[in-house]
Structure 1
Amino acid sequence: MSANVQREMLGSRLGFLLLSAGCAIGLGNVWRFPYITGAYGGAIFVGIYLLCLFAVVPTMIMEFAVGRAARRNMGLAFRVLEPAGTHWHHFGWFALVGSYLLMMFYTTVTGWMLAYCWYMASGALSGLDPAGVGQFFGATLSQPVGQVVGMTLVVLIGCGVCVLGVQKGVERVVKVMMLGLLAILLVLVVRSVTLPGAGEGIAFYLAPDAGKIAGTGLFPVINAAMNQAFFTLSVGIGAMCIFGSYQSRDRSLTGEALWIMGLDTFVAIMAGLIIFPACFAFGVKPDAGPSLIFVTLPNIFNSMEGGRLWGALFFVFMSFAALSTVIAVFENIISYTADVWGVPRRRGTVLHMIIIWLLSLPCALGFNLLADFQPLGPGSSVLDLEDFLISNNILPLGGLIFLLFCTMRRAWGWDNFIAEVDQGLGMKFPRWLRGYLTYVLPCLILFVLGMGYVDRFCK
């Protein structure tokens, strides 16, 4: 099967960089990275995390290379590139299953972000004490109709953008969202670090603290950094593969991946400079996960002069981060049926809109009508199960598949990978990494996979 096919391409290099970064930049940058940085040694953890990012970023480069070489979604790219008689194409389903699993809970959480843009701007949270803010969030989750409406709005936005096409829809909208996200991010950082008492929060966040690592042990710190690195790069479900398939060959892929990694890391670190100075300025203990975003931070905005404005801006920032991921992953899903089954974009978009909506219902109802369903033990929810399946299973396994496909002899292989990745201007891929990628990185991925089960079921 020929890879030389007519295909809609992205309109610019900036579009490629911002679209790929938009897929990578999401909720994990804000509600997990800052917290684990503060808990695991500040600047020391950031250093370890950067090393882990450089350790796993070759999987992103490989995913780009496979997509650009095949000009196809992951679902068909392996079939185009695999040697005759091999069966790598059987792994193509990771793109569809992984993307669906991610969207099954991401659409609901993104709906929370959109709702809180309105709640903050309208003053619905103004005047509430800390307990009242927590109760407000709990009441919001307990309303099945509101949860379904928010999720539905996100599905309609994502599919509405994708139906317009790659350049006119996905690229144009995500570029605006990402540029807006970066602008709002910088405004919020300046506001937070200039609050009285902000210096203590900055020190807690970024000052090196070996005592924290000594308290937890180096092993959990490295594991947390590796987990965050894999999750934040969004590799393993073929999203980077599809963006690679829309990219021209005028730039080499190594430098592009490093730019995307840099943007993603910049947003994650800056998010901490919003959260921790504000927490310490107002004497609020920082938390992680949904309680940080929907309880801790609204309490801070309630205490801050002009808090309604700053709170609304923060949730617009979060909504842009979440929606850019939604649109990027929806594009991956829609392109799967276009490439593998030949379904036209408009028809495929309607088909997936219905399926995604139906599959997102369990999470939307998981905090109300299905609250008694606790699949991973007491206190767990549908969201926890879906997050575990994608974060601790599909993402690392998908990354391992791309890694093996680009390094094994009975696959696409090293020489083909290097020939593709180095086409165009820019940084060339370091060939001396071949031994590391062939023997060491697969073991690191299996380690992350195993530790996910240890953390979940053995503690």
Structure 2
Amino acid sequence: MEREKFGTRLGFILVSAGCAIGLGNVWRFPYITGEYGGAAFVIMYLVFLAIFALPALIMEFAAGRASQRSIARSYDVLEPAGTKWHTFKWLALAGNYLLMMFYTTVGGWMLAFVVKSASGEFVGLESSQVADVFNGLLADPVQLAVYMLIIVGVGVGVTRAGVQKGVERVTKVMMMALFVVLVALCVRAVTLPGAAEGLRFYLMPDFSKMFAGATLAEQLATFGDAVYAAMGQAFFTVSVGMGGMSIFGSYIGKDHTLTGEAVRVA
């Protein structure tokens, strides 16, 4: 049977970007940017994205395209005879299992909040009361299990439908919807009181926050934490390190350059 391909190039880019865009970019990025000096952190993050994360993404794409397999089998296909490179796949598989445990749980929380919001449960509640609702959800294993299983079921249904009719079709709609939501949030953010100060904080580097501390040792420790956070964020951005992107690399045709596709996804 001939291996199924993405129907359009846009579909490949959106699916790859959809794999990369998640909590690390939407929630974690602004949080650690605020902690480490706004644009000062962004500059360091972009450097790590260019010199570490992008090359790693290209390598994952290369392994996928050369083997035409996922991380579970690519090492077996590509390794020289007699070598043991295939043992590394178990680390990647373990990482992917842990990732799915995390995201199916968080997806269940989100679905629960959609249901609660639609039913009017949050009407008139203060933020502390909404937090109480969330804590109540965490204390109810039956609710958690039901919502998580629904998320798993949706995921299984989409992937069983295939690359074009399932993953690509759904991702196109959801990524476009995410784009619209983010644009609306950006417009809302820059029209709030204090928006000018917020933009100034984000765009004007404050390197003093990278070296916060009373002693030289504390300053170096803070800088080390900032470097670690920026490097981790760069890898989060393009979702490399566990072999997930090698799956998408296996669908890149020979008529497209791996570097070009990696830059577009990033």
Asked if these proteins are the same fold (TM beyond 0.5), I'd say: yes
Of 39, 46, 51, the residue aligned with 1:43 is 39
Residue 111 of structure 1 aligns with which residue?
108
Which is bigger in relative contact order (C-alpha 8 A, separation at least 6)? 2
Moved more, 32-41 or 230-239: 230-239
**1:247 to partner: Cα distance:** 2.1
Within-5 A mapping of 1:329-408: none
Deviation at 1:42, TM superposition (A): 0.4
Contact 1:163-1:169 at 8 Å conserved across structures: yes
Post-superposition offset of 1:175: 1.6
Match of 2:186 among 182, 185, 189: 189
Structure 2 unmatched runs, 5+? 213-218
Amino acid at match of 1:240: M
1:62 paired residue number = 59
Structure-1 residue corresponding to 2:173: 176
User: In structure 2, do the counterparts of structure 1 residues 76 and 155 end up closer, same or farther at CA, with 3 Å as the change threshold?
Assistant: same
Q: Classify the secondary structure of the residue corresponding to 2:252.
A: coil
2:145 is equivalent to residue 148 of structure 1: yes
Q: 1:17 corresponds to which residue? A: 13
Map of 1:53 onto structure 2:
49
State how far apart, in whole Å, the 1-side matches of 2:125 and 2:41 are. Answer: 35
Instruction: Give me the TM-score of the superposition, normalised by structure 1.
Output: 0.54
Cα displacement string for residues 50-76 of structure 1 (whole angstroms, at most 9, x for unaligned residues)? 001112211110010111111111222
8 Å Cα contact 2:38/2:202 also seen in 1: yes
Q: CA deviation at 1:253?
A: 0.7
Q: 1:92 maps to which residue?
A: 89
Q: Which residue of 2 aligns with 1:381?
A: none
224, 248, 251: which is aligned to 1:243?
248
Q: Is the 8 A contact 1:34 1:205 kept in 2?
A: no
The Cα of 1:85 is off from its aligned counterpart by 2.1
Partner of 1:33: 29
Q: Specify the alignment match of 2:260 in structure 1.
A: 255
Give SS of 1:86's match.
Answer: coil
Partner of 1:318: none
Q: What is the rounded CA distance, in whole Å, between the counterparts of 1:155 and 1:66 in structure 2?
A: 28
Question: 2 CA distance for matches of 1:187 and 1:29?
Answer: 17
Report whether the alignment pairs 1:161 with 2:166. Answer: no
1: distance between equivalents of 2:195 and 2:137? 31
Q: When the two structures are aligned, how many residues end up with a matched partner?
A: 257
Q: After TM superposition, where is structure 1 displaced by more than 4 Å over at least 4 residues in a row?
A: none
**CA–CA distance in structure 1, aligned partners of residues 177 and 232 of structure 2:** 28
Deviation of 1:33 after TM superposition, in Å, equals 0.9
SS at match of 1:195: coil
Name the residue aligned to 2:216.
none
Q: Distance in 1 between matches of 2:165 and 2:128?
A: 45
Kept in 1, the 8 Å contact 2:158–2:170? The answer is yes
Partners of 1:120 and 1:55 in 2: how far apart? 43
What's the CA shift string for 1:175-203, capped at 9, x where partnerless?
Answer: 21111111111112112211233223333
| 1:196 alignment partner, SS class | coil
Letter in 1 for 2:9: R
Q: Residue 131 of structure 1 corresponds to which residue in structure 2? A: 128
Distance change (3 Å), C-alpha of 1:94 and 1:167: farther
Determine the C-alpha separation between the residues in 2 that align with 1:214 and 1:203: 20
Structure 1 unaligned segments of length 5 or more: list them. Answer: 262-459
Q: How far 1:118 sits from its partner (Å)?
A: 3.0
Which secondary structure does the structure 2 equivalent of 1:32 belong to? helix
Q: Identity of paired residues, percent?
A: 57
Contact 2:122 2:130 in 1 (8 A): yes
Question: 1:218 deviation in Å?
Answer: 2.2
Partners of 1:45 and 1:27 lie apart in 2 by: 18
Q: What is the alpha-carbon distance in structure 1 between the residues aligned to residue 15 and residue 79 of structure 2?
A: 27
Is residue 2:195 matched to residue 1:198?
A: yes
Contact 2:25-2:236 at 8 Å conserved across structures: no
Q: Provide the residue aligned with 1:72 in structure 2.
A: 69
Q: Any residues of structure 2 matched to 1:408-423 within 5 Å, and which? A: none
After TM superposition, give the deviation of residue 133 of structure 1 in Å: 2.1
- Matched position secondary structure for 1:248: coil
| Inter-partner Cα distance in structure 2 for 1:140 and 1:31 | 21
Report how far residue 204 of structure 1 moved. Answer: 3.5
Distance 1:36 1:139 in 2: 28
Quote the Cα distance in structure 2 between the aligned partners of 1:214 and 1:182.
35
Kept in 1, the 8 Å contact 2:49–2:231? The answer is: yes
Change (3 A) 1:169 1:97: same
Q: Distance in 2 between matches of 1:150 and 1:207?
A: 42
Amino acid at match of 1:79: D
